[in-house]
Amino acid sequence: MSDVTRAELDLLKAHARAERGRRWTAFFLVAPLFVFLIFTFLVPIVDMLRRSVMDGDVASVWPNVVQITRAWDGAGEPPAALWPALAADIKTSADAGTVATAARRLNYALDGGRSMVMKAARRVPKIDTPPNGDWRAALAEIDPAWVAPKTVAAIRRASGPVTDYFLLAALDLRKTEDGHVVGVPERDAIYRAVLWRTFSVSGMVTLFALLIGYPYAYMMTRASKGVAGAMTVFVLLPFWTSLLVRTAAWIVLLQEHGIVNNLLIWLGLIDHPMRLIFNRVGVVVAMTHVLLPFMVLPLAAVMKGIRPETVRAARSLGATPFTAFRRIYFPQSLPGVAAGALLVFISAIGYYITPALVGGADDQMLSWFIAFFVNDTINWGLAAALGLVLLACTTILSVVYARIVSTRRFA
């Protein structure tokens, strides 16, 4: 091997060492952010997925009952050993103070399930041995619902360790005693209506944000540097105050004797104050204001890259201003429209504070119910299942957007 070849080989090795060094440097710089995302984004999502299908409440306090129900196929009469095991577990959990855990879980599937369990927890410990050792009759005497087929089926379905109960409930579905999936009674069906309400409100907010944000972004990209800077400041202004303060400001503006109603009356457009708050109007107005920057900024970024010469060329060839806009300008701005609409819609379906403060009882969105089950009823399973529904919706929207973008890119 000649000296020149050795020199070239040494140079290649030095270059490879330098390249590896740069890669390791880049890795160590990114590693803290990567770890942060794992523990603040990925781990909570995985935990939510786990909670939506895990069902260990009954198993943790009634282990003997769960052992029997897991071995039973659900056909015919329950095993005779179920009743003394149930009585023993009720006694043990009542003494340990954990019976409320099982009561809360059975209350999800049975009307009056909690009161039934708590009544048994008060009376079963006082019974040493029932007549003829018949715990089934003793429990039926406490409450006939204990020996009803639906109660036994509910206990069996709550035995865990995994369940589809919460996911079905999040879609207003349930399993019958024989295992068939059916819809819940109409009086109990709320979550599909809430999901539709969440989508409809988010759709309206996205539409109004587009109608307001598109001309604003167009003027912002066509104005002089000073005017464009001022318009950008106005767009970013909502980010400088907290969401709670902005929402409270809309309550002041939209109330019965607020500035908006007084202005409309002064202009002679209305004779008496309109109801603009604690209803759908207030929710849409406040959310549109909050989310408008997420529409304007992507639109402006795309519009800045559109060459005005293309529109002028269309005009010079005889196209009307509207035709030139429709055939030339608007198609080039569609990536910004899609990006802004996706950002606004996905942000809107997860909103909680604004609908809770300015909306009425019929305007609460899915996030309100998630917070309710987490904070008030401590039903983590149903809260996680509803969160999973939102996650699925955002994932589907993101995939659809990615496919549209890739199709347009390679068309």
Q: Quick one: which of 126, 123, 101, 125 has its CA closest to 113? A: 101
For the domain with range 191-410, which CATH number is right: 1.10.3720.10, 1.10.10.10, 3.40.190.10, 3.10.20.520? 1.10.3720.10
Whole-angstrom Cα Rg for the chain: 31
Per-residue pLDDT of the chain (411 residues; tens, 9 = 90+): 455 577 777 777 787 888 888 888 888 888 888 888 888 888 888 888 888 888 888 888 999 999 998 888 777 788 889 999 999 999 999 988 899 988 988 888 888 889 999 999 999 888 888 888 888 899 999 999 998 888 888 888 888 788 888 888 888 888 877 778 888 888 878 888 899 999 999 999 999 999 999 999 999 988 888 888 888 888 888 778 787 888 888 888 888 888 888 888 888 888 888 888 888 888 999 999 989 999 999 999 999 988 888 888 888 888 888 888 888 888 888 889 988 999 999 999 988 888 888 888 888 888 899 988 888 878 888 899 999 988 888 888 888 877 776 665 544
Q: Give the pLDDT score at 212.
A: 94
Write the DSSP string, 157-186.
HTT-SB-SHHHHHHTTEEE-TTS-EEEPPG
Q: Give the pLDDT score at 202.
A: 93
What's the CA gap between 358 and 287, in Å, rounded? 10
Token duo for residue 276? 């603009």
Angle between helices 366-375 and 191-222 (to 10 degrees): 120
Backbone angles phi, psi at 59, to 5 degrees: -65, -30
Q: What average pLDDT does the structure give for the chain?
A: 86
What's the CA gap between 248 and 50, in Å, rounded? 36
pLDDT in tens, 234-262: 888 877 878 788 888 888 888 888 888 88
Would you give the end-to-end CA distance of the chain in angstroms? 52
